[in-house]
Amino acid sequence: MRHLLPEAFGAALLLAATLPACHPQAPPPPAVDPAYAADHARWHATRIEALKAPQGWLALAGLYWLQEGEYRLGAGSGADIVFPAGAPADVGVLALADGRVRLRLAPGVDAKIRGEAIQDVELRSDVDPAQPADRVELGDRFTFLVIARGERLGLRLYDARSEERREFAGIATFPLDPAWVIRARFEPLPTPRTIDHPTVLGTVQPARVPGTAVFTVDGQEHRLTPILEHGPAGDALLFVFSDRTSGRETYHGGRFLLAELPQDGTVLLDFNRAHNPPCAFTAYATCPVPLAENRLPFAIPAGEKTP
């Protein structure tokens, strides 16, 4: 028997080597309507183009919170707010007094707002969505503006030649899945209410809530609270949410989902368009974070993954 065992063992190995390997079959990808896939591809291309724009989120180069007083701007060693190399050594002086911000340019600095040359001007912030902030353009590379976040004012700086913009390699996404295009019931409030929405800064920002979206996943009813978003294409609903993929496949701070305003009591939630907030790309953004009721107890394997 001592001589037979190795022969039997070898025969068993030979037999195993000739049998086909048994691996679990991966489920086939869901069928996707070609027209929907083409429309989604256009949306994704537009989003990438906006991120990579000269004043997109990838071009952010600084965020400086202001207190009452004067700040010298520029790339020189004497600047209070130091711009990246390539900016003028002395841009000028920014002064905050009684909630108003004034810019006095240094001699010889070429700066414009909406194509008009400036020298000494009060800068309008982005506090009112209906009134665009004054964007100061320094040549074709640098742009800055004043942002208002609650009671705070800050200077936001863009650099069209930022390293993040140059080296951006795109965003990984989950495969398109029509099962994550969900028609939700919308329960409007009698009157939209204003809430203090938490932000990544640990502060709160006023936001208008028009109601609640109610939808079903795996037989369970869930709710999401949107805020009204004022954009160049008009008003929309912005859902700031997290799910069981957050901090794993997707950004730990949650994701955004934009939806059109309700029609006939419903709103379309296309989670294939769930996307990363600006804070996933830059430390110089001031994103809202999910409300407690928008932290979903299940995974949504759709939309963008962590950049």
273 class by beta-carbon count within 10 Å (0-12 exposed, 13-18 middle, 19+ buried): buried
Same domain, 188 and 273: yes
3 state SS of 78: coil
155 CB-side CA count, 13 A: 27
pLDDT in tens, the chain (307 residues): 333 333 333 333 333 344 444 445 656 667 889 999 999 999 999 999 999 999 999 999 999 999 999 999 999 999 999 999 999 999 999 999 999 999 999 999 999 999 999 999 999 999 987 889 999 999 999 999 999 998 899 999 999 999 999 999 999 999 999 999 999 999 999 999 999 999 998 888 899 999 999 999 999 999 999 999 987 778 999 999 999 999 999 999 999 999 999 999 999 999 999 999 999 999 999 999 999 999 999 999 999 999 9
Nearest one of 280, 63, 50 to 158, comparing CA atoms: 63
Q: What tokens were used for 71?
A: 């700040």
Give CB contacts under 8 A, 24+ apart, made by 128-136.
Answer: 129/230, 130/230, 135/55, 136/103, 136/111, 136/112
Asked if 188 and 276 sit in the same domain, the reply is yes
Q: Which of 142, 167, 192 is the last residue of a domain?
A: 167
Whether residues 158 and 87 share a domain: the answer is yes
Report the relative pairing of strands 255-259 and 204-217 from DSSP bridges: unpaired
Domain range holding 215? 171-294
Residue at a domain's end among 147, 167, 187: 167
The predicted pLDDT at position 12 comes to 37
- Give the CATH number of the domain where residue 152 resides: 2.60.200.20
Evaluate whether residue 52 is within a structural domain. Answer: no
Query: Which residues are within 8 A (CB) of 244 and not within 5 positions of it... i.e. 6 or more apart?
Result: 296, 297, 298, 299, 300
